[in-house]
């Protein structure tokens, strides 16, 4: 029997990103991914906007509510997706836990801007016996999983050096790549602040910082979201170079070759190997992994505890600004 799912928050990631795209081309939102997955049932949604409620009901033929308690009581979901604004995550989680408790809660990133709130969210789900996951979707995508395999099997050998370009805030979007680098390179070891940077929207810092992980050192550099979005990762290894471009839509690997012109020198292969990326269906892969979790199988979802570790590491950097 399919697990009943409730989405709280019908913004871009909740419903909007792929509303006008062909499902065969794009699966970017929670609503679309759940509606397409055979193990899950899109039972309904919650949003304060009547316009968003109407759009949801029109496109998905499921009920939309403006009250979490009413939705929880009527739908009895076993999976709840929290896709409301980040500053509301803790309050929404508290409302959900006051009702009939689901098996799984999938929360948008970051868990919370406030570290104390994030810790309380993780603890509350642990006490209630609910699996809490955070939607760092890249770690469920096949291309990123293949990069992890190559690093772990020393095809991309450590130590690794790299650069991350991010925009729209260190916590909001930079955390996607901080968490991904933890997934690839292991735990946070330390950091060296280069530039304190500005506050995105007066809330989210945008520092430039060199971060050490178990398998290497990565420099995070902020771009200007108001000019254009920019999310890339470049990793250098003794065995070659990885380019993770356009937020992961393009993944290229250049191996090391003997220089054809100069004896004794090594160069990067000018013809890169393209590693298949599934970023056009990234949210599908999240729910594929969530389905595995429901079935008691191994998965690569980011747990609440792992997401909290990401936040705690990032807050050490923010507090140094």
pLDDT at residue 63 in the model: 98
Structural domain boundaries enclosing 247: 142-277
Residues 149 and 218 in one domain: yes
> Could you give the CA distance from residue 106 to residue 290 in angstroms, rounded to a whole number?
9
Q: Is residue 229 part of a domain?
A: yes
Asked if residues 132 and 303 have their Cβ atoms less than 8 Å apart, the reply is yes
**pLDDT tens sequence across 95-125:** 999 988 999 999 999 999 999 999 999 999 9
Residues 117 and 226 in one domain: no
Separation in Å, CA 244 to CA 233, 248, 317: 5, 5, 24
> Could you give the CA distance from residue 187 to residue 310 in angstroms, rounded to a whole number?
9
Residues 264 and 213 in one domain: yes
Residues 179 and 247 in one domain: yes
Q: Is residue 30 part of a domain?
A: yes
Q: Is residue 25 part of a domain?
A: yes
Residues 111 and 25 in one domain: yes
User: What CATH number is given to the structural domain containing 189?
Assistant: 3.30.360.10
Q: pLDDT (tens digit, 0 to 9) for every residue of the chain, 321 residues total? A: 899 999 999 999 999 999 999 999 999 999 999 999 999 999 999 999 999 999 999 999 999 999 999 999 999 999 999 999 999 999 999 999 998 899 999 999 999 999 999 999 999 999 999 999 999 999 999 999 999 999 999 999 999 999 999 999 999 999 999 999 999 999 999 999 999 999 998 989 999 999 999 999 999 999 999 999 999 999 999 999 999 999 999 999 999 999 999 999 999 999 999 999 999 999 999 999 999 999 999 999 999 999 999 999 999 999 998
Q: Is residue 9 part of a domain?
A: yes
**pLDDT tens sequence across 39-54:** 999 999 999 999 999 9
Q: Is residue 321 part of a domain?
A: no
Q: Is residue 123 part of a domain?
A: yes
User: What CATH number is given to the structural domain containing 66?
Assistant: 3.40.50.720
Is residue 301 packed enough to be buried (19+ CB in 10 Å), middle (13-18) or exposed (0-12)? buried
Residues 184 and 211 in one domain: yes
Give the global pTM. Answer: 0.95
Residues 233 and 295 in one domain: no
Q: How many domains does the chain have?
A: 2
Residues 9 and 108 in one domain: yes
Q: Is residue 319 part of a domain?
A: no
Phi-psi region of 295 (alpha: psi -120 to 50; beta: other; left: phi over 0): alpha
pLDDT at residue 292 in the model: 98
């Amino acid at each position: 029997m399919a697990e009943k799912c409730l989405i709280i928050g019908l913004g871009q990631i909740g419903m909007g990103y792929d509303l006008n795209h062909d499902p065969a081309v794009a699966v970017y939102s929670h609503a679309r991914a759940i509606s397409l997955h055979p193990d899950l049932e899109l039972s309904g949604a919650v949003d304060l906007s009547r316009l968003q409620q109407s759009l949801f009901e029109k496109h998905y033929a499921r009920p939309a509510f403006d009250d979490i308690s009413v939705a929880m009581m009527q739908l009895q979901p076993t999976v709840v997706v929290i896709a409301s604004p980040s500053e509301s995550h803790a309050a929404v989680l508290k409302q959900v836990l006051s009702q009939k408790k689901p098996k799984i809660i999938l929360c948008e990133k970051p868990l919370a801007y406030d570290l104390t709130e994030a810790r309380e969210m993780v603890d509350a789900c642990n006490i209630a016996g609910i699996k809490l996951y955070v939607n760092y979707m890249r770690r469920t995508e096949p291309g990123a999983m293949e990069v992890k395999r190559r690093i772990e099997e020393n095809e991309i050998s450590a130590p690794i050096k790299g650069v991350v370009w991010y925009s729209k805030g260190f916590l909001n979007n930079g955390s996607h790549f901080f968490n991904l680098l933890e997934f690839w390179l292991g735990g946070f070891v330390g950091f060296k602040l280069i530039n304190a940077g500005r506050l995105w929207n007066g809330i989210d810092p945008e520092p430039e910082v060199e971060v050490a992980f178990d398998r290497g050192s990565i420099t995070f550099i902020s771009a200007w979201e108001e000019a254009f979005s920019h999310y890339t990762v470049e990793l250098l290894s003794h065995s070659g170079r990885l380019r993770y471009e356009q937020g992961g839509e393009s993944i290229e690997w250049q191996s090391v070759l003997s220089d054809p012109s100069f004896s004794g020198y090594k160069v990067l292969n000018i013809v890169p190997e393209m590693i298949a990326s599934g970023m056009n269906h990234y949210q599908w892969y999240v729910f594929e992994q969530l389905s595995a979790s429901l079935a008691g199988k191994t998965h690569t979802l980011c747990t609440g505890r792992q997401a909290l570790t990401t936040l705690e590491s990032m807050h050490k950097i923010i507090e140094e600004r």
